[in-house]
């Protein structure tokens, strides 16, 4: 009797200690990630924020709080021009990517029978994403450049005598390559939302007299709008910080903010570079905050 | 979905047009890659049109180039370290992410995927400033490893977390009822079940590291990985040798990703066969 009376509380105490331990054990897994992301991701980003408000005097960073770096950025017409050019290129490339990806994904979901074939066709689209980013840009040099496939072909067939530089070193080339780079992102997100759409609603709408166009505009589009927004975000954000595509195929007219940032940092103008970097980061954060809702709709861990 | 064709007279036309569009999309996606590989076998020394004959000469040059060999070893060393770090860190983080009673779980989840979302350029320059100006470190392979790990670890977290979420908790409860402690449950029940995901995550991390360019460009200093080497070469124009090297790198990533995708399926099939 007394034995049970003493052992019971001990067991309870043991269990509560265990629970305390398991509470700790629950979260220890986060520790390495906390160090990695805390020290080498969050901290440097914080530092960039601080740098953008500090001064560089004689190549030394002085901890004087100032908005001079931003002031400087907006006082140079070339930089402002580059910023608008970046936004313009990002918007155009995003629109083109979605414009190419939507009809494609629609075809894939609606006209290809669900199963192995549809999966295979989807995997083929994503495949280039898993190859080197540098090589995907580089592969276009083979096609667009002065000595590239198009020019060589034109000369070979005597359509023109000297290489046309029209294909390369300008914004259209940048946009083309950007569409190529981010196309898989767009298809994946559009596929996720189109695939869930119940096509019987389509049939119902048409039974009630809707034309296919009305059915698409009034039934399909409103339901997959979150998917389209997600696709836009996933394409637009990385393009804002693009460096390599404009560097390799953009020429002087294709320069984007990413190239500007790199130039600042390579020229040891850390504080000015930080301000330019923060302008992009701020734009991204604002966009993410605005569209947080539509990004949260999907649970990435759904089995 | 056949019924639509009856409803709209244009349905067949739309279907053909969309099919044609899809064919163009696949051409757009694969033409640059196929051309790249073709040109790497082209005898023409400008590395482009016209096609003057097949040769394996450029591959011979790639294998004989000591700079490329050097860059290859650096790439492999960096990739191995990045894989080790992100597999351990990512797997460890996936457990509490899925299983603990975590407040703000979705915020933490988004936070963990942020390094994938934000441009690599920002990761690169911000780490450059931290490591060189604040920590006063010399740029080296190790600084590149740190930068790449920040970017690859979220992929491992996502993959392992998805697998953890997917498996039946009853299995672990059954093991506990039969008297297995935490360590034994982990070793004999949980780890074997999530092993394919961990392995796939490791392969993903390895491939991503192999191909990573922008973060590495800022953080590796005077060393070269293969992508950085190719980048420095491209500045002087296209050469068939770079085409050959690029084709080899493409093949390596595709094989690795193929293994990463098919391995979990294969493991499941083999297990089923063994059980039957």
Q: What are the pLDDT digits (tens) for A120-149?
A: 899 889 888 878 888 888 888 878 876 666
Same domain for A122 and A25: no
Same domain for A125 and A226: yes
A140 to B3: CB separation less than 8 angstroms, yes or no: no
What percent of chain B has a predicted confidence (pLDDT) above 90?
28
Same domain for A118 and A40: no
Q: What are the pLDDT digits (tens) for A212-251?
A: 788 888 888 888 888 888 889 889 988 998 998 888 888 7
Interface of A with B in 226-255 (CB under 8 A): 237-238, 240-244, 248
Same domain for A165 and A280: yes
- Computed over every residue of chain A, the mean pLDDT equals 81
Same domain for A33 and A168: no
Residues of chain A with C-beta less than 8 angstroms from the C-beta of B169: none
B214 to A149: CB separation less than 8 angstroms, yes or no: no
B4 to A33: CB separation less than 8 angstroms, yes or no: no
Domain ranges, residue A152: 72-296
Residue B115, chain A, CB below 8 Å: the answer is: yes
Neighbours of A222 (CB within 10 A): 9
Nearest-10 crossing angle of helices A30-37, B66-99: 130
Question: Rounded to an integer, what distance in angstroms lies between the CA atom of residue B262 and that of residue A283?
Answer: 39
A281 to B234: CB separation less than 8 angstroms, yes or no: no
Q: Select from B221, B200, B197, B199 the least CA-distant residue to B78.
A: B221
Does the ipTM exceed 0.90? no
Q: Any idea what the CATH number is for the domain that residue A244 is in?
A: 1.10.3720.10
Return the DSSP state at A113: P
Q: Is residue A23 part of a domain?
A: yes
Same domain for A114 and A24: no
Same domain for A78 and A38: no
Same domain for A286 and A193: yes
State the pLDDT at residue B57: 77
Give the DSSP letter string of chain A. -HHHHHHHHHHHHHHHHHHHHHHHHHHHTHHHHHHHHIIIIIHHHHHHHHHHTSEEETTEEE----SHHHHHHHH-HHHHHHHHHHHHHHHHHHHHHHHHHHHHHHHHHHHSPTTHHHHHHHHHHHGGGGS-HHHHHHHHHHHHSTTSHHHHHHHHTTS-SS--GGGSSSHHHHHHHHHHHHHHHHHHHHHHHHTT--THHHHHHHHTT--HHHIIIIIIHHHHHHHHHHHHHHHHHHHHT--HHIIIIITGGG--HHHHHHHHHHTT-HHHHHHHHHHHHHHHHHHHHHTHHHHHSS-TT--
Q: What are the pLDDT digits (tens) for A31-40?
A: 888 899 999 9
Residues of chain A with C-beta less than 8 angstroms from the C-beta of B134: 47
Looking at the structure of chain A, the number of domains it has is 2
**B49: pLDDT strictly greater than 60:** yes
State the pLDDT at residue B3: 47
pTM equals 0.83
B14 to A47: CB separation less than 8 angstroms, yes or no: no
Residues of chain A with C-beta less than 8 angstroms from the C-beta of B121: 241-243, 258, 261-262, 277
Q: Is residue A264 part of a domain?
A: yes
For A30, name the nearest residue in chain B, comparing CA atoms only: B93
Same domain for A220 and A120: yes
Q: Is residue A303 part of a domain?
A: no
Same domain for A93 and A241: yes
Residue B30, chain A, CB below 8 Å: the answer is: yes
State the pLDDT at residue B81: 96
Q: Is residue A285 part of a domain?
A: yes
Same domain for A45 and A119: no
């Amino acid at each position: 009797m007394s034995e049970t009376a003493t052992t019971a509380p001990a067991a309870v105490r043991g269990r509560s200690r265990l629970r305390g331990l398991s509470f700790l054990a629950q979260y220890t897994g986060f520790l390495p990630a906390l160090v990695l992301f805390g020290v080498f991701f969050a901290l440097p980003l914080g530092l960039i924020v601080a740098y953008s408000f500090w001064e560089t005097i004689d190549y030394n960073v002085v901890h004087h709080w100032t908005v001079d770096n931003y002031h400087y950025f907006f006082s140079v017409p070339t930089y402002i021009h580059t910023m608008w050019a970046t936004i313009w290129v990002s918007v155009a490339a995003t629109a083109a990517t979605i414009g190419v990806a939507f009809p494609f994904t629609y075809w894939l979901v609606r006209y290809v029978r669900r199963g192995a074939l549809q999966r295979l066709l989807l995997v083929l689209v994503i495949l280039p994403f898993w190859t080197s980013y540098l090589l995907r840009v580089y592969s276009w040099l083979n096609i667009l450049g002065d000595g590239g496939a198009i020019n060589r072909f034109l000369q070979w067939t005597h359509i023109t005598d000297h290489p046309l530089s029209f294909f390369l070193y300008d914004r259209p080339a940048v946009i083309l390559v950007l569409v190529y780079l981010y196309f898989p992102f767009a298809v994946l997100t559009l596929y996720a939302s189109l695939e869930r759409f119940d096509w019987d609603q389509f049939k119902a709408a048409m039974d009630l007299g809707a034309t296919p166009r009305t059915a698409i505009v009034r039934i399909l589009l409103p339901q997959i709008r979150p998917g389209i927004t997600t696709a836009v975000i996933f394409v637009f954000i990385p393009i804002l910080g693009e460096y390599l595509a404009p560097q390799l195929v953009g020429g002087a007219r294709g320069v984007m903010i990413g190239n500007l940032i790199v130039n600042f940092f390579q020229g040891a103008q850390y504080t000015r570079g930080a301000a330019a970097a923060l302008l992009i980061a701020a734009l991204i954060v604002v966009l993410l905050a605005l569209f947080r809702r539509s990004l949260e709709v999907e649970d990435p861990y759904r089995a | 979905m056949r019924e639509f064709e009856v409803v709209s007279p244009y349905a067949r036309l739309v279907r053909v047009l969309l099919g044609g569009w899809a064919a163009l999309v696949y051409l757009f996606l694969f033409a640059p890659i196929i051309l790249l590989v073709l040109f790497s076998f082209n005898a023409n020394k400008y590395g482009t049109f016209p096609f003057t004959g097949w040769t394996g000469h450029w591959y011979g040059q790639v294998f004989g180039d000591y700079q490329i060999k050097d860059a290859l070893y650096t790439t492999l060393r960096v990739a191995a370290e990045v894989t080790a770090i992100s597999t351990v860190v990512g797997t460890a983080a996936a457990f509490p992410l899925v299983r603990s009673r975590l407040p703000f779980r979705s915020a933490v989840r988004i936070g963990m995927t942020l390094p994938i979302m934000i441009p690599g350029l920002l990761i690169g320059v911000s780490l450059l400033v931290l490591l060189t100006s604040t920590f006063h470190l010399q740029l080296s392979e190790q600084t590149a490893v740190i930068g790449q790990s920040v970017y690859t670890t979220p992929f491992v977290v996502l993959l392992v977390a998805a697998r953890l979420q997917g498996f039946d908790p009853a299995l672990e409860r059954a093991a506990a009822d039969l008297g297995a402690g935490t360590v034994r449950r982990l070793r004999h029940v949980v780890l074997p079940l999530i092993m394919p995901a961990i392995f796939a995550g490791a392969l993903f991390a390895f491939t991503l590291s192999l191909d990573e360019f922008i973060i590495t460009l800022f953080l590796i200093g005077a060393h070269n990985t293969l992508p950085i080497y190719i980048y420095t070469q491209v500045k002087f124009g296209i050469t068939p040798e770079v085409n050959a090297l690029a084709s080899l790198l493409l093949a390596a990533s595709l094989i690795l990703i193929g293994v990463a995708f098919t391995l979990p399926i294969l493991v499941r099939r083999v297990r089923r066969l063994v059980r039957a």
